[in-house]
Structure 1
Amino acid sequence: MEDAAQELRMILGADGYVVCRVNRFAASNAQRITVVLSSVDRQMRKAMSTIGASIEAHMEWSLLPFAWPGEDSDAATGPFIAELSVSGAPVAGIGFPVKLGIMGNGFALFFGSDLDLAGDRVVEFHRDIYRIMRELLTLDVQRISPHQNLNDRELQCLQLAADGHKSEAIAEELALSVHTVNAYLGFAATKLDAVNRIQAIAKAIRLGLIG
Structure 2
Amino acid sequence: MELEDAAQELRAILGADGYVVCRINRFAPSKTQRVTVVLSSVDRNMRRALSAIGEAIENHMERSLLPFAWTAAGHEAAVGTFVEPLPVKALDVPGVGFPVKLGIMGNGFALFFGSDLDLSGDRVVEIHRDIYRIMRELLALDVQRISPHQTLNDRELQCLQLAADGYKSEAIAEELTLSVHTVNAYLGFAATKLDSVNRIQAIAKAIRLGLIG
Q: TM-score of the superposition, structure 1-length normalised?
A: 0.68
Cα distance in 2 for residues equivalent to 1:54 and 1:78: 18
Deviation at 1:81, TM superposition (A): 4.1
Choose 1 or 2 for highest CA Rg: 2
Cα distance in 2 for residues equivalent to 1:26 and 1:4: 28
Cα distance in 2 for residues equivalent to 1:129 and 1:114: 20
Instruction: Write out per-residue CA displacement over residues 39-77 of structure 1, whole angstroms, 9 at most, x where no aligned residue.
Output: 0001100011000000011111211111111159xxx99
CA RMSD of the aligned region, Å?
4.4
Aligned to 1:55: 57
Question: Does the 8 Å contact 2:78/2:96 carry over to 1?
Answer: no
Q: Report the secondary structure of 2:110's partner residue.
A: strand
Map 1:170-209 onto structure 2 (within 5 A): 177=168, 179-180=170-171, 186-191=185-190, 201=197, 209=205
Map 1:8-157 onto structure 2 (within 5 A): 8-71=10-73, 81=82, 92-144=94-146, 148=152, 154=160
Cα distance in 2 for residues equivalent to 1:95 and 1:127: 13
Cα distance in 2 for residues equivalent to 1:108 and 1:193: 29
Q: Report the secondary structure of 2:197's partner residue.
A: helix
Q: Which letter maps to 1:102? A: I
Instruction: Write out per-residue CA displacement over residues 88-131 of structure 1, whole angstroms, 9 at most, x where no aligned residue.
Output: xx981110011112211110000011000114100000000000
Question: Does the 8 Å contact 1:189/1:200 carry over to 2?
Answer: no
Deviation at 1:189, TM superposition (A): 3.3
User: Structure 2 unaligned runs (5+)?
Assistant: 86-90, 173-179, 207-213
Cα distance in 2 for residues equivalent to 1:132 and 1:175: 32
Q: Alpha carbons of 1:193 and 1:3: their partners in 2 closer, same or farther (altered >3 Å)? A: same
Q: Which letter maps to 1:98? A: V
Q: Report the secondary structure of 1:201's partner residue.
A: coil
Cα distance in 2 for residues equivalent to 1:123 and 1:17: 17
Identity %: 58
User: Structure 1 unaligned runs (5+)?
Assistant: 85-89, 159-173
Aligned to 2:88: none
